[in-house]
Every structure is written in C-alpha cells, then in structure tokens.
Structure 1
Amino acid sequence: MQALHSNALVAVIGAGAMGAGIAQVAAQAGHPVKLYDNRPGAAAQAVAGIDRQLGRLVEKGKLAPEAREAISARLQPVEAIEALADARLVIEAIVEDLQVKQGLLRQLEGLCAPDCILASNTSSLSITRLAAGLQRPQQVVGMHFFNPAPLMALVEVVCGLATDPGIATTLYETARAWGKQPVHARSTPGFIVNRVARPFYAENLRLLQEGAADCATLDALLREAGGFAMGAFELTDLIGHDVNYAVTCSVFDAFYGDFRFQPSLLQKELVDAGRLGRKSGQGFYRYGEGAERPPAAELHTLASAEHCVAEGHLGVMQPLLERLRDRGVAITERAGSGLLRVGDATLALSDGRLASQRAREDGLGNLVLIDLALDYQAATRIAISWSADTTPEARDQAVALLQRAGLRVTGVADLPGLVVLRTVAMLANEAADAVLQGVGSAADIDLALCAGVNYPRGPLAWAEQIGVGYTLRVLDNLQRSYGESRYRPSLLLRRSDAQGARLHD
C-alpha cells in the first residue's frame, strides 16, 4: 500500500493545539486541508495562528516566504461538518471522551465516502471500542501524534480488532511521507509510549517517597548520568500533574489494577492541592519570577586516588577504566568477578540488591555500589550508595576515585537498584512485555520511546547493552527486595536469556 497522494483532501476535526498542529503537518506535506471545530470561529482562529507560526519560521530563515503562502493557502477553516464530506482522510482530535468520539465517527460514516479513512488521535481510548457499532469498523484506525505535532517525530498507527491492515499501512506510509517516524501498535491500554513510559515516572516517584534523594538530585542523575533530556519531576511538572496522573490511573484501571502501573500518592497529593506544575506555578518545583531550582546533592572529599585495582571485566562499566587512565590513575588488572578496589573500598555496579545485603551475601567489606550511566566516558554525574558497615574513610576513597574521573558524585540512600539502573530495568521490562503481548515490535517500541519522548536509547537496546541476563538479575533482585508483583520480570527477558537470543531478533 502507498501513502495518500498529496492532492488527497485531509480533514481535521478539533482546532485546539493538537488539531491545529496536525492540520499544519498535513498542509506542509502538500495536502489541501479542511479544519473544523464546533466552536464558532475556532477553526479560523487556529488557521490564523498557524500562519503566524509559519511567519516566525520565515523571520528565522527556516521557511521561504512563498512556502508560507502555499501552506496557508492549503488550509481552509470550515464552519459546518458537512463541508468535510469529500475528505479522503479525516483525523479527529477532540475531547478524550469515548461516547463523544463514537458519536462523531458515526456521523462521519454517514457523511463521508465509504472508502474514507477515519482516524482518531486518541492517546488512551481503545480503537476497537471506538469502531464498535459502526457499519465500516475496518475504516477506523488510530493515528496518535505527539504534542507539538509539527515538531515531534513520532506517530503511533494503532489497529483495532476490525481495522483493515491495508488502511493501517496506508496511514503508516502517509505519516512517513509527512516527515514523521511512524510505528505500528496494537490497540491495548496506552498503546506503546503511554504504557512503556510509565516506569520512568513511577520508579522515580517511589524513590522520592522512599527517601532516596530529593527531586532536584534525582532529576540531575537521570539527565547527567542517564542521558535523559529531563528528569521525571521536571517532566511531570511540564506535562501537568493532572494530565500525567490521569493517564497513569487510566492505564492502571485498564490493566485491572496491575500494580506495575500503580499511581503515586505523592502525585495525587499534588493534584488534590492544585499544584499541577508549570501551568499552575508550582508542582514539584516552584515557577515564576524569583523561583530558583535547588541544586543537586553532591559528595566532596579531599582524599586522593592515584591507583586502583580492577578485578575481572566490569561489564557495562568497563569504559570507566579508560576514563580513569586518561586522568592519570594507575590501574592494576587481575582476574576476578567484576570489582573495582581503591584503598579499603570495594566498588561494583549495582545488581538490584541493597548494598548492605550484597555486602553480607557476597562477603564484601566497605562496599560502594555504582549506578548505571548511559555512557561512562561522557557522563558528568554518577550515583553511589554504600553498605551500613562501610567506613567514612572507605567511602571517601571511592568518592575520590570517581571525582578523579571527572564525575560529580551523588550519594543516595541504600535502596535496590539505585536510580538510573532501576529506571532503565523497569522500562526495559515493560517494553519486553509489550513485545511479548504483540503490542509492537522491538524495533518499533524502541523507536517510539526515542522519537516520542526523547529517550537517549530505546529500552530494549539498553537492556541488550547492559546484558539481558544482567537486566533480568536486577529485576529478580528488585522483586525479592520488595516482594511485589510490580517488579516481576517479563517472560520475554527470561526466554531470551535462556535461549541466548537478542530481544530484537
């Protein structure tokens, strides 16, 4: 199947930020576009707003004046839904209400040609339920854009039970022709992104609740060690806690109360208080004139570290050795189980156990655990925790070694999996379950998280880099520590580990 021809009329219903953005994307791709909203004058106002945005692009030299004129000429606001009868594709971007959307689709089915594609931009409602009861449910498909639609690359093309696969392919190719990065998804709660991304928020909310560190410190670790564009708390402040909490509750309810999607009482309290984030002036952080972001916590020591011993391969943390060598640290390498020793301190990558538990079980004195980093050569900050019997002198020796590598060192409470490792392991676990259940392919799920929410690496690719077996071990240890089904490892991870198979095979 091929993309819709650029002369095919595209209709967009809903002239809010998302609908206007979708209309702009289609017009920029060369389609004639009709924009309709049931609020008088709203469509015309949205088209004028699009023209102003295009004008700003012209002022910045990013768009030719004649291109602006051509795009604006292709945008037509209409005041009656009957004007959409000749559309080849209709995309609705109205309120997230099942009955309202179903009523609109029934109206469109009676209005438009039998071969017209009816697409919903819903982010959470079932495409199967939206199409149920229609005479032509095979024509209904999800086309989920991300806000702002002109800038965000991802489009989730979502099939319900009755969706014609050929129509889904047409929309997939159309999204590509529009300059987007589409992925195929099956209509299950949250589709890909709103399902797989839940642990990013949930684990950091739990770490905050359990006293691992404060918001600013946890956010800094996700950015400066994990490579994420934003931490969980600044991101939920940006999204709006009412929106983020509602999506979490929706997914939790849709999965019959599966505790892997359990909403956070901390976030509920913010919503109850009206502290919705940037739009209300306060969330986890304060906003507005004079508001300052608190600094991340950091450990400092005057101790020095000139020499260390690497016992065996350090796994994903191996690049740290090269970084230390580049800064003049002498390294002795010998056989062992992946430990790094400096002075009296023993350093190791976290495996999901408490530092005190691992020290006792493995017989390791003065144990300091190191968190995961996206790139140990480029990271600027790293988290550590230490066992109860680690002396202050040994901890300082570990801090001195990591400082010598040019890292800011942040201490967090002795909790399973630290911060980045725990977050990534749970993201990979949810992604693996989505693959196992046929929601999407491994490649599409990784692409969706990178293109849709700007993750620095797809969760499944990250699990393969860490090692599927190691990721599984972290999850097993998290589950043992908490005794909760929330941390149960995906069967796909167990099977891939047992078979020695890649997740992307």
Structure 2
Amino acid sequence: MGALASNVQVGVIGAGAMGAGIAQVAAQAGHPVKLYDNRPGAAAQAVTGIDRQLARLVDKGKLLAAEREAINARLCPVDTLEALADAGLVIEAIVENLQVKQALFSQLETLCAADCILASNTSSLSITSLAAGLERPQHVVGMHFFNPAPLMALVEVVSGLATDPAVAARIYATAQAWGKQPVHARSTPGFIVNRVARPFYAESLRLLQEGAADCASLDALMRDAGGFRMGAFELTDLIGHDVNYAVTCSVFDAFYGDFRFQPSLVQKELVDAGRLGRKTGQGFYRYAEGVERPQPAELHSSACAEACVVEGNLGVMQPLVERLRQSGIAVTQRAGSGLIQVGDATLALSDGRLASQRAREDGLRNLVLLDLALDYSSATRIAISWSADTSDSARDQAVALLQRAGLKVTGIADLPGLVVLRTVAMLANEAADAVLQGVGSAADIDLAMRAGVNYPCGPLAWAANVGIAHTLLVLDNLQRSYGESRYRPSLLLRRCEAKGGTLHD
C-alpha cells in the first residue's frame, strides 16, 4: 500500500519538542498540518519555534526562502481537538501515560473519519493496550520518531495485535515519503531500539561497578575502539539518568524481571542523589563552568618493539597485521591458533575468559588479551588486560608493539570479555533474540540501531564480522564466569552456528 497523498490533512497532538518536530517533518513533506496542545498558546508557540528552525536552514543554504514560506503556510495551530476532524492521520506525542493516551484515542474515534489512522509516538507503551477497547483498533499503529524528529532518520512502525497490516504498510510508506528510514516492529517492550540498546548501558555500568576502569577510560574505549559516537556514561549524562534509568526499569519489569535487563545500582544511586547528568550539572561527570573533563588512562612503554610473530589467522584482528607492517614492524607469519608473539608476551583477542583463566587453561605464558575494535586498521585506542603471572616487562613489550602501530593503550582489570567485545556480543545477543521472537527482521533491527541511535554497525552484522562462533564463545564464557542467565546465548545464535549461515540469511 502506498503513502498517504501529500494533500491529506495530518493532525499532531502535543506541541512539545517531539510533537513540534513531527509537525515540521510532515509539513516539509507537503502535508497540511494542524498542531494541537491542551495548554493554551502552546501550539502557536511551537509553530513560531518551527519557523525559527526553518529560518536557520535558510541561513545555512539548506532551504529556500520560498520553501520556508510554503511550509509555514501548511502549519496551523488549533485550539480544539474537534479541529482535527478532517485529518486522515493523527499522531499523538503526549505524556507517556497509558490511560491518558487511551482516553485521547477514544475521543478521536468519535471525531475523525472511520478510515483515519491513529498513530502513537510512544517509545514504551504497548500499541495493543492503546488500541484495546476502541471500536476500530485495526487503525491504531505506532509511529515512533527519534529526537530531534527533523534530524533523526529512524521511525519505528509498530503493530499491535489488532493493527491492520495494510495500515502499518501505509504508515511505513508514508514515513519513507517523509524522508525517513522506517522499520517494522511488533509491539513488545521497548520495540526494537529501546530493547536492543539496553546492553550498551548495562555492560559499561557493570564494568564500572566491578572496577574495570574509570568512566573516562571506558567511554574513550567505546568511542576510539568501538566507533560509537559517545560512551555509555557521557550518553546517559546527556539523556538524563532519571529518563534512562526509568526506561531500563520499565523494560526490566515488562520482561518479568529478566536479568538481561537488570537496572544498575550505580545508576540508581545517581538518581537518588539527584545527579541526573548535564541538566543538573553533575552525573558521572561534572559540568560546572571551568571543570575539566577527566582524561582516559593510558599505558606507556619505553620498550623497543621491532618484530613480532603472527601465529595463524587472527580473524577479525587480521587488519592489525598490515597495520603493524606499515608501522615498520618486521612481521613473521607461521601456523598457529591466532596469536601474536612479541618478545616474551603472547597477545590474543579475548574469547570471554579471564586472562588468568585462559593462560592457565591454554598454557599461555605472559598472556595479554586484546579487546575488539570496530576496525583494527583505523582504531586509535585499544583495551588490554593481562594474566596474573604476566611479567611487567612482557606487558610493556605488548604495549610497545601496539603503540608502534599508533594505538593508545588503556589497561583494564582482568574481567571477562573486556569492554567493546562483551558489549557488542551482548548487543548482538539481544538483537538475535528480537529476531527469534518476531519483533523485527535482522535487516530492520540492524538499520534501527544505526539510524536510531547512531551505532557504527548493526549488531547482527557486527557479530557476523567477529564471527558467529566467536561471538557465541564469548557469551558462553561470560555466562560461565558470572553464572547468570543475563549472558545466556540466544537460541538463534546457536542455530546460526550449527547451520553455518549468518543472521541475515
């Protein structure tokens, strides 16, 4: 089914930042838009704010003055819900309260035409529940934009039990016509993004709680090695800990206390203290004027690294070999099990075991484990950990080799899976379970995480790059180390490994 014609009236309810952004998107796509808010004057104020945004686009040369005038002409603030009676699509962006939204939709059913589509921008409430009790629940669909709506590409098109597939298809096509990247999702807790993203925060919070490293170092590793735009601590400071913690608690409760979504006591303490992040001036970091941001820890070595031996294929780390060569390191290759030997040190990609455990079980002396990087040929930082019996001189030789390749080296405590690797494995695991449970397709879930929260790579594609077998090995070893169901591997990963395919097959 095609998109709504551009002459179809769109109603937007809620003139806050999100509602105003959605109204702007619809008007820029050519629709006449009516914006309503129950606060007197709020809709008119929002339209004025939209014009300021459009004026900035004109100043930057991204919009013609005539286009600005045309968009403004299509935006109309209204004072009553009755004014939305002629709308073919109404999108609500009001308070996240199930009863309030249900009452609104019930009222809209009596005002709007029988074929009017009622869409909710909810990020967490069940579309099935929102539609329950309505005369036409088949016309209710989720249309979850991401903030700021004019800039963020993703729209989650969420179907409840009663949603007509044709309605979902029309909203999907309409979102495309509005210049967005829509994905289909089933109405389950967190939909796609707010569910799959939980491990991004949870693993950093656990690593901090276990003394792996400080916030600045963990954030730097997620940025400089993992390729994420922000680490978990700076991102939650930006979002607000009250908001982020509430979403985590909501998803945890909705999944009946599944430990995969367990909230963090570290974050709860910040919320209890009123340290909510940037908006209060302090969270994990302090934001007072003149306060300098703490710098990540970095290991330095005065050892000399001129040569190394690469044993076997390094898998996802193979690009590091060429980087070492280009740095002037004499690289000798021989058969083996994916190790790098430099001086007395043995380097290996983590497999989810403690360095000390792996050294003992595999008989590896002076073992130094490397973390995952998005791209070993261009990463600027890498995390390492080392076994209890690794000598200082061997560790320094490993650091010297990595420094010679242009990598900043951050040492962390000996914990399973290091930083980026365990986070990516858990993101992929949750994404795989979402596919298994029919929340969305593998392609849509990867797209959602890239377009909705700016991940550098979709979690499932990333797992394929690391190797499904290695990702599964990391999860199995994490589960053995912690003895928790939190790290249980998805059955879809096991099925994929067994058949030898990818999660996108």
TM superposition score category, shorter chain reference: over 0.9
Letter in 1 for 2:341: R
2:60 aligned with 1:60, yes or no?
yes
Give 2:51's aligned residue: 51
Letter in 2 for 1:361: E
2:469 aligned with 1:469, yes or no?
yes
CA RMSD of aligned residues (A): 0.4
Give 1:134's aligned residue: 134
Residue identity over aligned pairs, in percent, reads 83
SS at match of 1:48: helix
Give 1:428's aligned residue: 428
CA distance in 2, matches of 1:291, 1:152: 31
CA distance in 2, matches of 1:54, 1:292: 35
Q: Deviations over 1:370-408 (max 9, x none)?
A: 000000000000000000000000000000000010000
Give 2:318's aligned residue: 318
Note the C-alpha offset of 1:292. Answer: 1.3
Note the C-alpha offset of 1:326. Answer: 0.3
Note the C-alpha offset of 1:59. Answer: 1.4
Give 2:12's aligned residue: 12
SS at match of 1:333: strand
Give 2:107's aligned residue: 107
Letter in 1 for 2:40: P
CA distance in 2, matches of 1:502, 1:421: 19
Letter in 1 for 2:278: R
Give the alignment of 1:234-383 within 5 angstroms.
234-383=234-383
Letter in 2 for 1:154: L
Give 1:456's aligned residue: 456
Letter in 2 for 1:466: V
CA distance in 2, matches of 1:241, 1:152: 22
Note the C-alpha offset of 1:23. Answer: 0.2
Give the alignment of 1:150-229 within 5 angstroms.
150-229=150-229
Give 1:71's aligned residue: 71
Runs of 4+ aligned residues of structure 1 deviating over 4 Å after TM superposition are none
The TM-score, its normalising length taken from structure 1, stands at 1.00
CA distance in 1, matches of 2:242, 2:6: 38
Q: Deviations over 1:338-384 (max 9, x none)?
A: 00000000000000000000000000000000000000000000000
CA distance in 1, matches of 2:187, 2:30: 29
Note the C-alpha offset of 1:288. Answer: 3.0
Note the C-alpha offset of 1:289. Answer: 1.1
Letter in 2 for 1:305: A
Q: Deviations over 1:307-352 (max 9, x none)?
A: 0000000110010010000011001100000000000000000000
Give 1:38's aligned residue: 38
2:386 aligned with 1:397, yes or no?
no
Q: Deviations over 1:60-118 (max 9, x none)?
A: 22111111111011000000110000000000000000000000000001110000000
SS at match of 2:497: helix
CA distance in 2, matches of 1:483, 1:332: 40
CA distance in 2, matches of 1:195, 1:338: 34
CA distance in 2, matches of 1:275, 1:4: 45
CA distance in 1, matches of 2:194, 2:327: 42
SS at match of 1:135: coil
CA distance in 2, matches of 1:100, 1:259: 30
Q: Deviations over 1:182-209 (max 9, x none)?
A: 0000000000000000000000000000
CA distance in 1, matches of 2:89, 2:280: 37
2:419 aligned with 1:419, yes or no?
yes
SS at match of 1:61: coil
SS at match of 2:333: strand
SS at match of 1:172: helix
Q: Deviations over 1:481-505 (max 9, x none)?
A: 0000000000000000011121001
CA distance in 1, matches of 2:368, 2:327: 21
CA distance in 2, matches of 1:60, 1:486: 48
Letter in 1 for 2:218: L
CA distance in 2, matches of 1:17, 1:276: 20
SS at match of 1:341: strand
Letter in 2 for 1:326: Q
SS at match of 2:12: strand
SS at match of 1:115: coil
2:38 aligned with 1:24, yes or no?
no
CA distance in 2, matches of 1:65, 1:409: 51
Note the C-alpha offset of 1:163. Answer: 0.1
Letter in 2 for 1:92: E
SS at match of 1:69: helix
Give 1:83's aligned residue: 83
CA distance in 2, matches of 1:389, 1:213: 20
CA distance in 2, matches of 1:336, 1:423: 28
CA distance in 2, matches of 1:283, 1:28: 37
The TM-score, its normalising length taken from structure 2, stands at 1.00
CA distance in 2, matches of 1:441, 1:292: 44
CA distance in 2, matches of 1:409, 1:394: 15
Give 2:231's aligned residue: 231
CA distance in 2, matches of 1:296, 1:197: 24
Note the C-alpha offset of 1:228. Answer: 0.2
Letter in 1 for 2:124: S
SS at match of 1:475: helix
Give 2:483's aligned residue: 483
Letter in 1 for 2:392: P
CA distance in 2, matches of 1:174, 1:109: 21
CA distance in 2, matches of 1:179, 1:290: 41
Give 2:447's aligned residue: 447
SS at match of 2:300: coil
Q: Deviations over 1:459-494 (max 9, x none)?
A: 000000000011000000000000000000000000
CA distance in 2, matches of 1:449, 1:502: 18
CA distance in 2, matches of 1:57, 1:313: 50
Note the C-alpha offset of 1:219. Answer: 0.2
CA distance in 2, matches of 1:504, 1:262: 28
CA distance in 2, matches of 1:114, 1:288: 54
CA distance in 2, matches of 1:90, 1:287: 40
SS at match of 2:346: strand
Note the C-alpha offset of 1:172. Answer: 0.2
CA distance in 2, matches of 1:54, 1:295: 38
CA distance in 1, matches of 2:451, 2:291: 31
Q: Deviations over 1:405-460 (max 9, x none)?
A: 00000000000000000000000000000000000000000000000000000000
